[in-house]
Amino acid sequence: MKFKNLGRSGLSVSQLCLGTMNFGPETDEATSHAIMDAALGHEINFFDTANRYGGVDNYGRTEEIIGRWFAQGGGRREKVVLATKLFGPMDPWPNNRGVSALNIRRACDASLKRLQTDYIDLYQMHHIDRSTPWEEIWQAMEVLVAQGKILYVGSSNFGGWHIAQAQEAAKARHFVGLVSEQSIYNLVTRDIEREVIPAALHYGLGVIPWSPLHGGLLGGILKKQDSKRRLEGRSKEFFEAKRPQIERYEAFCDSIGHAPADVALGWLLAQPAVTAPIIGPRTQDQLTNSLKALEVNLTSENLATLDEIFPGYKTAPEDYAW
């Protein structure tokens, strides 16, 4: 396993991040624990979760599963760089959502309890909160850092302008601010290339891509026997519109001798600002298969071919102006 610093921070994380969204809703607790043990065995030290993960009416369940895994000891907590998130409502009460100072305090304490730990390495805002001023957000985060409850702060689903707002407000307070941004990013969805990646590079944020296979679309879907099941949650019109590109993509992957899923992850690892794509295995086999992406070394010609199949974006404003 290779490791990289998360953005400009001194935090060293594995180049693959273990996503835990399936733990609980799709994967039972025993299997989830086995996957986390296997991840550590493969030197994946970066785990991502969120306070809302666990399924409808089971918010917090995923953090609880991770907490019981930590409680087994054996250096599990000490080896893991733990990232979790807050934003979405945990119940109907109006103050148990967003990133107000009140919810930051409450949500952090609740996550610490479920996770059975006394600190969170990376505390991420799951979405931009346009109703809360940055002075309030940063003051609350500063308190958590001073208390030792969190070490670093990250964002998720922010725009480039939001990152600039956050960092300039943090700079005025002599606070580190954000060290990472977690965004949807893959060969099919490349919108963040316009402004988010330039902002991340400018302010020293590590980009953590989620949905690296675009819901399985980039995982060799045309050849999988269960492709029909994988398409149930996706617009048929969207898939059919992308079919010619997917056919070219899978043929290209065959020509260079790598599985489509590995190429998709390998492409992300070659992109500027990207620290670690999030993989979300439901089984140990899926975890093991994801490791093959680390063996993919795409040449400049390979990258150019992928750009032809799935065109990306220039940095704004050149992408849409002269």
For 6-57, how does the pLDDT look when each residue is reduced to its tens digit (9 = 90+)? 999 999 999 999 999 999 999 999 999 999 999 999 999 999 999 999 998 8
Contact 80, 44 (CB under 8 A): no
Mean pLDDT of all residues in 163-167: 98
Q: Is residue 321 included in any domain, yes or no?
A: no
Q: Is residue 322 included in any domain, yes or no?
A: no
pLDDT of residue 235: 52
Given a cut of 80, whether residue 126 has pLDDT beyond it is yes
Tokens of 14: 């594995």
Q: Is residue 291 included in any domain, yes or no?
A: yes
Mean residue pLDDT of the chain comes to: 95
Residue 311 gets the label, from left (phi > 0), alpha (psi -120 to 50) or beta, of beta
Q: Which of 49, 48, 50, 45 is nearest to 75 (CA)?
A: 45
Q: Is residue 317 included in any domain, yes or no?
A: no
pLDDT of residue 55: 92
In angstroms, the CA 273 to CA 183 distance is: 12
pTM: 0.95
In angstroms, the CA 72 to CA 33 distance is: 10
pLDDT of residue 48: 98
Given a cut of 90, whether residue 238 has pLDDT beyond it is no
Laid out side by side, the sheet with 178-184 consists of 206-210, 178-184, 150-156, 120-125, 81-86, 46-48, 17-19, 278-279
Domain that holds residue 37: 3-309
pLDDT confidence tier of residue 230, bands split at 50, 70 and 90:
low
Total tally of structural domains belonging to the chain? 1
pLDDT of residue 233: 54
Q: Which of 293, 238, 223, 286 is nearest to 261 (CA)?
A: 293
Is 53 designated active site?
A: yes
Angle 258-260-264 (CA atoms, 0-180°, nearest 5)?
Answer: 105
Given a cut of 60, whether residue 165 has pLDDT beyond it is yes
Tokens of 105: 């305090």
The share of the chain scoring above pLDDT 90, in percent, equals 92
Q: The domain spanning residue 243 has which CATH number?
A: 3.20.20.100
Question: What is the SS3 assignment for 121?
Answer: strand
* Angle (deg, nearest 10), helices 236-256 and 260-269: 90
Supply the DSSP symbol for 274: B
